[in-house]
Structure formats: C-alpha cells, structure tokens
Amino acid sequence: VAFHALIVDDSSAVRAFVRASLEERGFARVEEAETGFEALRLLASNAFDIVIVDVNMPDINGLELLAFMKKSPRQQAARRILISTEVGKLGTQRGMELGADAFLRKPFDVDELRALVLGLLSGTQEATR
C-alpha cells in the first residue's frame, strides 16, 4: 500500500519535485497544497502518513500548520517534515518545539528526501507494532 503524503509549498517547482521523487515506483501517493488554507482543507478530511511543509509561506506559515497538526486528532500519526532555509534559523528552532520530526534544508536532492521519508516511515511502523 502506498503511503499518503502531503506537500505544502507555494513553489510549484518544489511541489513537482517532491511529487516526482516520492511517486516514483508507486512508493507514495502525494497530494499538493499551495497555501496554508488549502492544506487546512486537506488536513480536515484526510489522514496523512507524512506531511512536508515549507516554513516560509505567506498568510498561514509552516509553523502555524505544525501547531495545528499537533492539536488535530486526525493527524496524530502523521510524521512532519519542515522545509527550511538557513535564513529562518529561528523558524527551525521553533519548528522543533512544535513537534517537527525532521527538517529538510533547501536545496535538497531526491536521495536526501527519500532517505528521510523512508527513515521516518519505518519508524512509524515500528512504533505502531
């Protein structure tokens, strides 16, 4: 069964990159959200295995989404990856406090992304066993 993933980023190139990297060989089913609002809509009605969020978005930022997911009963099992850049050092620090499971620093490559997702998801399976 493919994993259910959500990528939240306002850059369509990043979303396309993440989707192509994770959907190869049917590894994951990836949904995309361009804004925090769109993400809220998807989070309200889906349970995701993994949610990848860019910290720097207009309106609702990645930190606010993390805080929301932490409280959302539906998303308790989801692993959360925060995409950050060195500019937002503060963001990384706050993300950690808000329960991010891992961080991805832009620019990242396919292998980095896959390794991180695989590592997190195998962790999930162990924990539920």
Partner 1 sequence: VSDPRDNVQQEFLVEAQELVEALSRDLLLLDEAHHRDERIEPALINEIFRSVHTLKGIAGMFGYQHVGAVAHALEDLLDDLRLGRIIVGQQLLDVLFDSVERFQHLLSRDDPQSTADDGSVQAFIAAIRNVGPEPQSEVGDPLDKYAIEAEVLAVLTEYEEHRLRACIREGLLLYRLRASFELAAIDDSIERLRVDAEDDAEIITYLPSMEGGNEDTIELVVLLASRVPEPELRAQFESRYGVIDPIAERTHLPTLPPQPTSIPAPAKTVRPSSDDESIQPSIRSVADSVRVDIRKLDHLMNVVGELALVRSAVTRVVDHLQGKSVSRQSMMDLDRIGRTFERQLSELRTGILDVRMVPLGQVFNKLARIVRQAAREHDKQVRLVVTGADTEVDKLIVEELTDPLMHLVRNAIDHGLETPRERDRTGKPPEGTLALNAYHKGSNVVIEVEDDGEGMNVFKLRDTAVSRGLLGADVSQELTRQELLNLVFLPGLTTSERVTDLSGRGVGMDVVKTNILRMGGMISIASEEDIGTKITITLPITLAIIRALIVTVAGRTFALPITAVREAIPYVRREVKTIQGREVISLRRETLALCDLARLFGFRDAPRDGGFVVVGAMGNRELGFVVDELHGQEDVIIKSLGQSLSSVRGFAGATDIGDQKVALVLDAPALFTEYFESPEVLRTLESRA
Binding site for partner 1 (CB under 8 A): 10-14, 16-17, 20, 24, 34-38, 40-41, 44-45, 55-56, 58-61, 63-68, 71-72, 85, 87-91, 94, 97-98, 106-109
Cβ neighbours of 1 (radius 10 Å):
6
Q: Smallest gap, in angstroms, from Cβ of residue 73 to partner 1?
A: 9
Q: Smallest gap, in angstroms, from Cβ of residue 57 to partner 1?
A: 9
73 vs 129 by CB, closer to partner 1:
73
Q: Smallest gap, in angstroms, from Cβ of residue 124 to partner 1?
A: 23
The closest of 56, 119, 50, 59 to 83, measured between CA atoms, is 56
Q: Is there a contact between 32 and 19 (Cβ–Cβ < 8 Å)?
A: yes
| 19 exposure class (CB count in 10 Å sphere: 0-12, 13-18, 19+) | middle
89 vs 123 by CB, closer to partner 1:
89
65 vs 122 by CB, closer to partner 1:
65
| 85 three-class SS | coil
